[in-house]
Amino acid sequence: MTRDQALALVHEHTPSPSLRRHMLAVECCLRKYAILLGEDPDLWGLTGLLHDFDYEGHPEDHPLWGMRLLESMSVDPAIVRAVAAHYEEKTGVAPESPLERHLVACDELTGFIAAVVYVRPSKSILDVEVKSVLKKLKEPSFAAAVDREGVHRGAALIGRPLEEHVAIMLEAMKASAADLGLA
């Protein structure tokens, strides 16, 4: 599957601009990590771009509905397994490979970083620093829906201090700021 095909699938199944941007954000973070780790940036990026494509249309059956469609399209099994592993509670598939672990680690944090951007007067990610993200994580009332424990577990899953993980994600999201609607 090419990126254009994946993007078309996302557009077909996800009318919500914010969910589209979430997938684009996870995509750019996974591409960055793949490059950093000497992995395949196209494979990792596609996984991020696709991981929630069925959520809006099939919230009850997410991600199983999407996995079935991806399988029927002969998408790389590594992508399908990673999509399963980002929702272990539903699929019983635990994140194991580096791709699976990084998907989980980036998933929750992209939304949190976007929430930090939205409370900036400039509404620009270019003004957001690592320390402001870390500070907001320590305020339980801020973006309360984001599971702090999950964020810490994610960083542990990829074997990085949270500060470093946030720095890498911020850098990736800043480079794609316009596409993410965060410029």
The secondary structure element, H or E, covering residue 154 is: helix 148-157
CA distance 87 to 163: 24
Contact 30, 103 (CB under 8 A): yes
Interacting residues with Fe ion between 1 and 20 (CB under 5 A) = none
Minimum distance from residue 153 beta carbon to Fe ion (Å): 15
**Residue 27 binds to Fe ion (criterion: CB under 5 A):** no
Q: Which stretch binds Fe ion (CB under 5 A): 32-40, 49-57, 121-129, 158-166?
A: 49-57
Contact 95, 101 (CB under 8 A): yes
Minimum distance from residue 123 beta carbon to Fe ion (Å): 22
**Residue 52 binds to Fe ion (criterion: CB under 5 A):** yes
Which CB atom, from 27 or from 107, has the smaller least distance to Fe ion? 107
Which CB atom, from 38 or from 49, has the smaller least distance to Fe ion? 49
Enter the tokens of residue 92: 């019983």
CB environment 138-156: b (16+ within 10 A), e (fewer): eeeeebeebeeeebeebbe
CA distance 54 to 67: 9
Q: Which stretch binds Fe ion (CB under 5 A): 12-20, 68-76, 99-107, 113-121?
A: 99-107
Count of residues that interact with Fe ion, criterion CB under 5 A: 2
**Residue 54 binds to Fe ion (criterion: CB under 5 A):** no
Among 20, 107, 165, 182, binds Fe ion (CB under 5 A): 107
DSSP state of 180: T
Which CB atom, from 105 or from 116, has the smaller least distance to Fe ion? 105
Q: Which stretch binds Fe ion (CB under 5 A): 101-109, 115-123, 152-160, 163-171?
A: 101-109
Residue matched to tokens 């500060």: 163
- 153: CB partners within 8 A, 6+ apart: none
Binding residues for Fe ion, rule: CB under 5 A, are 52, 107
